[in-house]
Chains A and B, each alone.
Chain A
Amino acid sequence: MNKLFVKKYCHIRNNSIYVDGELLYSDKEAEGLRSFEKSVYRHLKPSYNKFFKMDEISKLGFLAAEVLLSDIDTSSYNEEDISIILSNSHSTLVTDQNHQLTVDDYDNFFPSPSVFVYTLPNIMIGEISIRHKFRGENTFFIVENFNAELITNHINSLFLTRKSKAFLGGWVNQSEDDYEAFLYWVSGEGDFKHNATEINRLYKLIS
């Protein structure tokens, strides 16, 4: 059996982006996630207008994927052979609360369709899939903390059953007062072993 490896990984937290443990971009002046995401977009210049329509957590996953996949040749795989397995602890709670605000007041009841459509975490997977043309399996786990074993097992299962050959895995979370993204690319080549111990080590490199 061919083995899987982690080829590249990316952290976004505390208004900074790290790739393979090295600082790529930082904007300490940005106030809040929304402002930081706008700053990152201006820096990366992906020219993707739909970005501005996304909710904050989808933007976070989108930007992490942009950075992670910038020099990975995903076109060497069939679209159906690339899967996305993500996770977090707060689902889309912040967006859910924003939506709730639009329906709380009976006399000012104007639910926003564009907010409502983002009240599911797998929408973020959809945004990444559309952008990068991934059409494999996709799963979003809601778990209390980052669980490398859960994601590793799921990826191994998809690989062993020949459903996918390459994977975007990780954790993208937003709570009321914090946010964090950790994404990694798993395929047949890379410098890091694809196992829970190693992925936990990479996850904890930036704290």
Chain B
Amino acid sequence: MEELIEKLKVQIIEQLNLEDMEPEDIDADESLFGEGLGLDSIDALELIVLLEKEYGIKIKNPKDGQKIFFSIRTMAEFIQDNQK
């Protein structure tokens, strides 16, 4: 799990162009949106693309997005549970 979390941090920094940020700057339990990393709606779409492109996982129910993308850890748990 920790290995996947570290990998996700690197992928998110690259995919979302968070150029001033290093993986160690991101707390795995910090909220990705709002007061945490401060991501926006376009970033949310990029995270959906990242899941599909890098892990082959499609989110079937858009309502699940809020829970899945709450933090890096919730994303990692979702990937672990759904990767074939």
Q: How many positions in chain B have a CB within 8 Å of any CB in the partner chain?
A: 13
Residues of B within 8 A of A (CB): 16-20, 38, 42-43, 45-46, 49, 52-53
Complex CA gap A179/B37 in Å reads 33
The one of A52, A53, A113, A117 that contacts B49, using a Cβ cutoff of 8 Å:
A113
Residues of A within 8 A of B (CB): 38, 49, 52-53, 110-114, 117
A38 nearest in chain B by CB position = B19
B22 to chain A, nearest CB (A): 14
Given the interface contacts A110-B52, A114-B43, does A53 sit within 8 Å of B20 by beta carbon? no
* B20 touching A49, Cβ below 8 Å: yes
The one of A110, A114, A117 that contacts B53, using a Cβ cutoff of 8 Å:
A110
* B19 touching A52, Cβ below 8 Å: yes
The one of A52, A110, A113 that contacts B42, using a Cβ cutoff of 8 Å:
A113
- Residue with the greatest number of chain B CB neighbours at <10 A, chosen from A52, A110, A113: A113
Q: A110-B52, A114-B16 are in contact. List 4 more A-B contacts (CB 8 A).
A: A49-B38, A113-B45, A114-B17, A117-B42
Complex CA gap A113/B43 in Å reads 8
